[in-house]
Amino acid sequence: MSEGILKEQFDSLEQQHDASRLGLWLFLATEFLFFGGLFMGFAVYHLVYPLGFAAAGKLTNLWCGSINAALLLTSGLTMALGVNAAQRSRAPAASRWVALTMLLGAAFLAVKGVEYADDIHKHLVPGAHFALANQPPAQIYFWLYWTMTGLHAVHLLIGLGLLAAVWLKVRRGRWIGAEGAATELTGLYWGFVDVIWIFLYPLLYLIDRHT
Amino acid sequence: MKALTYVGAWGALMAGFFLTLGLAHARLGAFYLPVAMVIAAAQMMVVMWYFMHLRVSSRLTWLFAAGGIYWLGILFVLGLADYLSRGWLK
Amino acid sequence: MNDEGNYLEAGHDLKSWLLTTDHKRIGLLYLGSILIFFVLAAFAAAMMRLELLTPQGDLLLSADYNKMFTMHGVLMVWFFLIPSIPSVLGNFIVPLMLGAKDLAFPKLNLLSWYLFIIGGILALYAIVVGGVDTGWTFYTPYSTTYSNTHVLTMAAGIFIAGFSSILTGLNFIVSIHKLRAPGLTWFRLPLFLWSIYSTSLILVLATPVLAMTLTLMAIERVWGIGIFNPALGGDPVLFQHLFWFYSHPAVYIMILPGMGVTSEIITCFSRKAIFGYAFVAFSSVAIAVLGFLVWGHHMFVSSMSAYAGTVFSLLSFLVAVPSAIKVFNWTATLYRGSISFETPMLYIIGFMALFSVGGLTGIFLASLAVDVHLHDTYFVIAHFHYIMVGGMVTTFMAGLHFWWPKITGRMYPEKLGQLAAVILFVGFNLTFFPQYILGYLGMPRRYHAYPPEFQVYNVLSTAGASILAIGYLLPAVYLFWSWRHGKVATPNPWGATGLEWKTTSPPPKHNFAETPVVSEPAYHYPPLTD
């Protein structure tokens, strides 16, 4: 059965699997540094403009941010359980967990949409009609807020696409057991999306709440 | 890993989540930022260790996982060294 | 499964090249594409040197001159130097040296080339429709607010080409970890692989920060609001931090692979094992890691804090240590060796001289106080051209000649090769040494006119550039000729060690008839008799 999936440059499936896992971790290191530029910008301006950032940090939607944090942490659990089931070749369980993960991810995006609508309504978009027009640092804060959450949402959307592909295969009993590398790699990627929100949540919603 | 292990990890993550949220209202002032970042780093460890299966991965994978974080640390330490020391020279 | 013939004969139609996942063919696709970019970038350099023949700005308007140096910088850095040794020679040689059938992810490798081409086409489009005048560094707020040129298209091209670099680096790292032949332990690896591994670390860990920096710059340019504009409370120096966090390590992307080529060639043509293998191997890793700690030395005269400047200056001096270890160990390898001066070796000896000059003048520039005088002068131009051209281009030529028999199955004409190596060395020094003097005297970079007293050095430099051009054209002609008409090469024409020489020239599609087994350290040349 494993004949067809072993590529010619590898000697064994284990070696092939190990290589793809290492490759994905390296890719995640790249992604981490990609976001790192934004985190660095946030750190610098938080340091330079404590007051402006405090004024702006109070205006983000705490409810939406918190619900999303809980949703995403839980989706990390369902994804891990899905990968676990796939590794044990339990296709029905794996496809259920993957579907639940997709549902939680979609719920995150829905809440994010509601939040964005609310932000726009409150004139929190930098530019001509910005609510705190007299405070340039607040504008920098919201510029970072939109860029960081937007980029995270794009990553989450890509993750949903990957999950959909995995779900279609796992349902039919593919991509599990010995050929489960793709499922496992999608799980790693989803974990990364989770980790980014773990940092975005306190930075954007909490640290300036009571200063 | 057993299913219960994953659920336990999730419990720890949610505890961290409520702790971060609760402490935000505790008027810790400037101390809140480092505290929140430490909790977030711990949560990241839990996600990577259990959900991303580092626990059952090779040492080499650990090294690769740590690499990205370490290199980001370089950007932060040396970059912020500039901003933190800008006012020193009178 | 027996393959008929070598990799070049495995299909002749366009599809067999454009859809290939064979690392050797992808290496050749890169070779063809980077040569196009090299020619265009060299044309821009020629226009600049012609303009600088006279003190008046008479050939080009200053605006066009700005576009010329931007085109030269962008194309040379991202579309020639960075992919030169890693993507061309690395792609071809790394799996062969490992004793593997291919890289770990062959399809990803092909994707890298396509990303590179898409990025390249965008960059060329930006040049054709009017060019960019920001310089290759895209400093804000000029690039975000004031420049009326095609900054966005150019940045998009570099962004996409950056992902090509990341995927190539990732492929090399995983391959070196996972695809080594039986018996090929880390400390038996040819040093070229150590240097490619170190280079790949930089490609993977630094390039994403450039991607983010360019994204932030682009967003700011499109929406007019952002984080780098001082009028809105932003800090342009932050752009420089983020840009140089990538671009300084990127300078080492443009020299480390050349150092790897040097270790291969110097051992082969002195018939000796490398002196101090572990030192040379770890100095590559050390250069890659230290390279991330020194970016601030590009910013001494920005408004960066003087304390941070001092730290960056001290850290920059540290890079001299592993670099010097390499030069000393190469020299010690020559000692009592049986040295012969074939073309690759001539290039390498030239490289050692040029790299030493470039490296030592780097120490001048790392000194805080000296840099205040020399910053943004021709001294800086001369310094980094000694490393980029004297270092990387020279070693690229050396490696191309060294592995040419393996790549094509043909020998290049030896006498012409030696002549070309000498012409390159003479032309290069005549072009760039006067620029050290110009910089010391205070001539700033990036101007199309200058005071008449500088003319004599500029004329020398332009004369040197025309000799340098012959040094490039000559190999282009005879290498192309030798592909069809050169003497047929044996599997190992140099009597070199390394697994790439254990297969036929050119290699079969799957590299080796059977997986090789390694039982000796690297560079295990038979002992010399006096």
Whether A184 and B53 lie within 8 Å, measured CB to CB: yes
Statement: residue B40 has pLDDT above 80: yes
User: In the structure, what pLDDT confidence band is assigned to residue C406 with cuts at 50, 70 and 90?
Assistant: very high
Indicate the length of chain C as a whole number.
530
Prediction ipTM score: 0.93
Radius of gyration of chain B (CA): 17
Mean model confidence pLDDT for chain C: 94
Q: Which chains touch C (3 or more CB pairs under 8 A)?
A: A, B
- Contact (CB, 8 A) for C100 and C182: no
Mutate one of B82, B83, B90 to test the C interface: name it (highest C CB count within 10 A): B82
- Contact (CB, 8 A) for C128 and C443: no
Over residues C247-265, the mean pLDDT reads 95
Over residues C465-473, the mean pLDDT reads 96
Q: pLDDT by residue (tens digit) across A89-133? A: 899 999 999 999 999 999 999 999 999 999 999 999 888 888 888
The rounded distance, in Å, linking the Cα atoms of C197 and C256 is 10
The rounded distance, in Å, linking the Cα atoms of A158 and C168 is 22
- Contact (CB, 8 A) for C179 and C104: yes
Statement: residue C12 has pLDDT above 90: no
The CA distance from C106 to the nearest CA of chain A, in Å, is 9
Buried b (16+ CB within 10 A) or exposed e, B17-52: beebbebbeeebeeebbebbeebbeebbebbbbbbb
B window 61-90, beta carbon within 8 A of A? 61, 64-65, 67-69, 71-72, 75-76, 79-80, 83-84
User: In the structure, what pLDDT confidence band is assigned to residue A2 with cuts at 50, 70 and 90?
Assistant: very low
Name the token pair of A192. Answer: 């990364």
pLDDT at A7: 86
pLDDT at C384: 95
Distance of CA C399 to the CA centre of its chain: 12
pLDDT at C97: 96
Nearest to A82 by CA among A68, A66, A103, A67: A103
The rounded distance, in Å, linking the Cα atoms of B22 and B73 is 28
Statement: residue A1 has pLDDT above 50: no
- Contact (CB, 8 A) for C66 and C496: no
pLDDT at A165: 94
Over residues C357-364, the mean pLDDT reads 95
pLDDT at C4: 55
Statement: residue C468 has pLDDT above 50: yes
Q: Say if A37 is an interface residue toward chain C (CB within 8 Å).
A: yes
pLDDT at A4: 58
Statement: residue C501 has pLDDT above 60: yes
Over residues C192-217, the mean pLDDT reads 96
The rounded distance, in Å, linking the Cα atoms of C458 and C473 is 23
Whether A202 and B37 lie within 8 Å, measured CB to CB: yes
Residue C12 burial by CB count (10 A; 0-12/13-18/19+): exposed, middle or buried? Answer: exposed
The rounded distance, in Å, linking the Cα atoms of C505 and C292 is 39
Residue C240 burial by CB count (10 A; 0-12/13-18/19+): exposed, middle or buried? Answer: buried
The rounded distance, in Å, linking the Cα atoms of C43 and B85 is 45
Q: Which chains touch B (3 or more CB pairs under 8 A)?
A: A, C
The rounded distance, in Å, linking the Cα atoms of A17 and A37 is 31
Over residues C264-277, the mean pLDDT reads 95
User: In the structure, what pLDDT confidence band is assigned to residue B61 with cuts at 50, 70 and 90?
Assistant: very high
The rounded distance, in Å, linking the Cα atoms of C454 and C418 is 34
Could you count the other beta carbons within 10 Å of the beta carbon of residue C321?
12
Q: pLDDT by residue (tens digit) across C330-355? A: 999 999 899 999 999 999 999 999 99
Indicate the length of chain A as a whole number.
211
**Positive or negative CA dihedral for B82, B83, B84, B90?**
positive
Render A177-211 in DSSP notation, one character per residue.
GGG-HHHHHHHHHHHHHHHHHHHHHIIIIITTTT-
Give the one of C241, C293, C307 whose C-beta lies nearest to B85's C-beta. Answer: C307
Give C114's Cβ-side CA count (13 Å radius). Answer: 11
Q: Which residues of C touch B89 (CB under 8 A)?
A: 305-307
Backbone torsions φ then ψ of C410, nearest 5 degrees: -130, 150
Q: Which residues of B touch C311 (CB under 8 A)?
A: 78, 81
pLDDT at C87: 95
Q: For residue C508, what are the β-bridge partners?
A: C6
Whether A35 and C166 lie within 8 Å, measured CB to CB: no
Could you count the other beta carbons within 10 Å of the beta carbon of residue C1?
4
Q: For residue C444, what are the β-bridge partners?
A: C377
Q: Which residue of B has its CA nearest to C300?
A: B82
Whether C208 and A27 lie within 8 Å, measured CB to CB: no
Q: pLDDT by residue (tens digit) across C124-170? A: 999 999 999 999 999 989 999 888 899 999 999 999 999 999 999 99
Q: Which residues of B touch C245 (CB under 8 A)?
A: 75, 79
Render C455-503 in DSSP notation, one character per residue.
HHHHHHHHHHHHHHHHHHHHHHHHHHHHHHHSPBPPS-TT---SGGGGS
Backbone torsions φ then ψ of C303, nearest 5 degrees: -90, 25
Q: pLDDT by residue (tens digit) across C118-129? A: 999 999 999 999
User: In the structure, what pLDDT confidence band is assigned to residue A3 with cuts at 50, 70 and 90?
Assistant: very low
Nearest to B58 by CA among C178, C175, A183: C178
Name the token pair of A144. Answer: 């970072």
Nearest to C60 by CA among C37, C84, C43: C43
Specify the residue for token string 């069809």. C484
B window 44-63, beta carbon within 8 A of C? 60
pLDDT at B9: 96
Statement: residue C3 has pLDDT above 60: no
Percent above pLDDT 70 for chain C: 99
Nearest to C358 by CA among C385, C396, C392, C327: C385
- Contact (CB, 8 A) for B15 and B43: no
Mean model confidence pLDDT for chain A: 91
Statement: residue C423 has pLDDT above 80: yes
pLDDT at C169: 97
Name every residue whose Cβ is closer than 8 Å to that of residue C248 and which is 6 or more positions away in sequence: C291, C292, C294, C295, C297, C298
Name the token pair of C485. Answer: 């008409």
Whether B88 and C305 lie within 8 Å, measured CB to CB: yes
Window from A25-39, A126-140, B66-80, C310-324 with minimum mean pLDDT: A126-140
pLDDT at C161: 96
Q: For residue C6, what are the β-bridge partners?
A: C508
User: In the structure, what pLDDT confidence band is assigned to residue C530 with cuts at 50, 70 and 90?
Assistant: low
- Contact (CB, 8 A) for A164 and A148: no
Q: Which residue of C has its CA nearest to B83?
A: C305
pLDDT at A178: 80
Q: Which residues of B touch A42 (CB under 8 A)?
A: none
Dihedral (Cα; C244, C250, C254, C258), 10-degree rounding: 120
Q: How far is CA C343 from CA A157, C266, C340, C346, C500, in A?
A: 54, 12, 9, 5, 19
Helix, strand, coil shares, percent, chain A, to 5: 80, 0, 20
Q: How far is CA A164 from CA A92, A98, A158, A167, A186, in A?
A: 15, 8, 10, 5, 10
Statement: residue A211 has pLDDT above 80: no
Report pTM. 0.95
- Contact (CB, 8 A) for A91 and A171: yes
The rounded distance, in Å, linking the Cα atoms of A76 and B53 is 12
The rounded distance, in Å, linking the Cα atoms of C277 and C427 is 33
Q: How far is CA B66 from CA A195, B61, C363, in A?
A: 14, 9, 32
Whether C292 and B74 lie within 8 Å, measured CB to CB: yes
| Type of residue found at A133 | A
Whether A207 and B33 lie within 8 Å, measured CB to CB: yes
